[in-house]
Structures are given as structure tokens and as C-alpha cells.
Structure 1
């Protein structure tokens, strides 16, 4: 269990790599490492989420389970007058996200180590983005939805990417039980992108 990407301190040996990627028209560089999600490059689900995403330029955004930062850092570029808070339980992922923000000259971000939302309790956000840690189990994914709902401003939105075969129908049902409005924004190779509005 010690080397899951959702563990607090990955036990696996470091294997740092640098990848360059084009996301939403921005060229970004990412340092990745063993023990974090999708270490060999930006995963398809995160790309699908970013391709569907609509953000106001001044949005106050929370990226839940940020990994080494592709979603949050791209969001920071999409919302240059806004602010993006990036959280992850994995301390290695948190350090990489900080490093990648600096590497790409992105300053409108804050990266915090957080077990789910513990580091951002009491704050509120316009938008929550998540490519949830499916392997952490349905209970964890549902907590991301439930507790995230509480942190959104009225009219705020949560954007979720999830594979159909990894529980998209139950995720959609859970979102519908919490949010006033849930829309399947796009389907992409088995991935579903949901936008849930408070």
C-alpha cells in the first residue's frame, strides 16, 4: 500500500523525469516522479477534463488530488486574474506541483498537502476540479463530492472526470443527489466529464 499515488508518503524510489505538454493551447513542462499519479505524462482523463473545462478569467479554483499539477496549473493559466489552490495527500505530488508552478512561471497558485479538504476547511471556491482517485475507493470519491459541495459558493461548479467502467454511473447518481444541476459535458473514449452546479 505504501506506494499508491494516494498515500501520504510514497515509499518507492525516486525516478524523476521531465515531460513537456500542450494543454489548452499552453506549452507546459512537468517534472514527474515515481509514486505519483500518471508519472509518464499527462493522463487521458485529465486532458479530457481540461478540453471540456470553461473557466472565468477571475475564477477562484480548487484542484482536488492535484498530483504533479497538470490540471491546476493549466487552470491557473486559463484564469490569469483568478487563483488556484491545489491539494493532494501525497507529499511528493505536492512538492512536484510547487516545483512545476515555478518551472512554468505560474504564480497565481497555492499548493497544500491535505487529506481530502482538511487544509482548506472554511474557505469557499467558485470551481472545484477533480480527476478523483478511483483506486482509493468509492467512499473516498463520494466524500470528495459531498465535502466539495460545502466549499462551493452558490452557483459554483464541480467538474469531474471519471471512466465509465470505473464507476461513472454511480458517480453521476451521487452528484445528482447533492447538486441542483448535473450535466454530462462530454464523452471521450470511455471518459465522462460531469459539471455539477450548486
Structure 2
């Protein structure tokens, strides 16, 4: 990725040179399509892998959110674990959304809807939110993202966020409780990352 380009850019400047890689998702070997200009475009990153391995299975039904979907590893995992649920894969990066759609189709995940944030209807609430949030875009942008989405948890919904300890996982947990009034529990700490569990009460 060229200097100055970021995976949080709506339209990456680098060429969309598609490649296929083999990854393990939900206990399955899956071949997916990736490209430069999206987060972790050539592998399944450690933090996302930790989230997928350590978080309990999602609810079997309802609306599930992959916030910041990249090329779709979380969305594909949610879709496979809960085929009767509706999985929303949300990103501002057009290339990431295209890759997620490609990968969902190839994997037979017909319950995945990959869209930009404004395309999610306002009345949708989420039984689960899974996210490896883009901490490196800076606190104001991350906070704005969480302010928008975490309050949309259903009354019994649960969010799981994976965040690097060195990039402020503990301070982010305190901020969520202080600013949004949502309880946060640190459920796993491994490899320099925390998994935070956020609930409505």
C-alpha cells in the first residue's frame, strides 16, 4: 500500500490486483479473494484470528454486524455459524465490500449483506457485533464509529471487540462505559490483544 493510502479510504488508489489465499475460518479451510488497499489484504491477521477463535458462537437468528469487514473473514464466520441470521458486513472501503461480496458468494453465504454504513436501515438492531476496529485511524474516528454502532445492540445483544493492548484497549473499555454507559468486560488477553465484551446492561 502506498504511503498516504489507508484501508479506511473509500476508494483505494492502488490497483485492485486480485489474489486468492487459503485461510481457516470456523474450523474450515476456505479459499478467498483479496487485494491490496484493504486491511490485511494478504493474510488473516492475528487479532481477527484471535476474535474468531475465542468468542462464543453468535446467536442463531437475528441481525449480526461485522463492523469494518475488510475482505470478510468475520462476516463469513458469522454466516457459517448462524445460517438463519442476517449478517451485515459494513465498511467504508468500496474494494473491501466488493471482496466480501465475492467471498460470500463463493462460500455460499447467501445471508451476508455487504454495505456502506448509511445503507443499514436505522431500525435494525443487532443481536451481536463482532469487530476488529481500525484503531490506527485515531481516537476521534474510532469513538465516532462506536458511538454510532454500539448503542444499536439489541436489549440482549453482545458486542465483541478485539483491540491491541498497546493501542489502548483498556482506555477504550473505560471510555465505552463512561461515554456510552455500556458495561465492558475483558474476556480474553492473548498475544498483546484484548477481547472486550460489551453489553446493554
Q: Pick the TM interval, shorter chain.
A: over 0.9
Which region of structure 1 is more displaced relative to structure 2, 19-28 or 87-96?
19-28
Residue 50 of structure 1 pairs with residue 55 of structure 2: no
How far is 1:17 from its partner?
A: 1.3
Distance, in Å, in 1 between the alignment partners of 2:44 and 2:60 is 23
CA displacement 1:141-174 (0-9 Å, x = unmatched): 1122222122111121111000001111221112
Offset of residue 132 of structure 1 = 0.6
For residue 25 of structure 1, report the CA deviation from its aligned partner.
Answer: 0.8
Any idea what SS the aligned residue of 1:105 has? coil
Between 1:172-181 and 1:182-191, the stretch displaced more is 172-181
Q: How far, CA to CA, are the matches of 1:80 and 1:179 in structure 2?
A: 32
1:119 and 2:119 are equivalent in the alignment: yes
The 5 Å alignment of 1:146-161 reads: 146-161=147-162
| Offset at residue 29 of structure 1 (A) | 1.8
Unpaired runs of at least 5, structure 1: none
RMSD: 1.5
Cα 1:192/1:112, change in 2 over 3 Å: same
How far off is 1:57 after superposition?
A: 1.8
TM-score by length of 1: 0.93
- The residue number in structure 2 matching 1:15 is 17
CA deviation string 1:10-51 (max 9, x = no partner): 001222211111122122221110100001111011011111
For residues 56-107 of structure 1, the C-alpha deviation after alignment (integer angstroms, 9 at most, x for no partner) is: 2224201111000001111111112111000100000000000000111111
| Matches of 2:119 and 2:4, distance apart in 1 | 22
> Partners in 2 of 1:185 and 1:51 — Cα distance?
13
Q: 1:180 to 1:138 in 2, by over 3 A?
A: closer
Distance 1:168 1:128 in 2: 17
Aligned to 1:134: 135
Q: 1:101 aligns with which of 79, 88, 104?
A: 104
Runs of 4+ aligned residues of structure 1 deviating over 3 Å after TM superposition are: none
Return the TM-score normalized by structure 2: 0.91
Local SS of the residue matching 1:122? coil
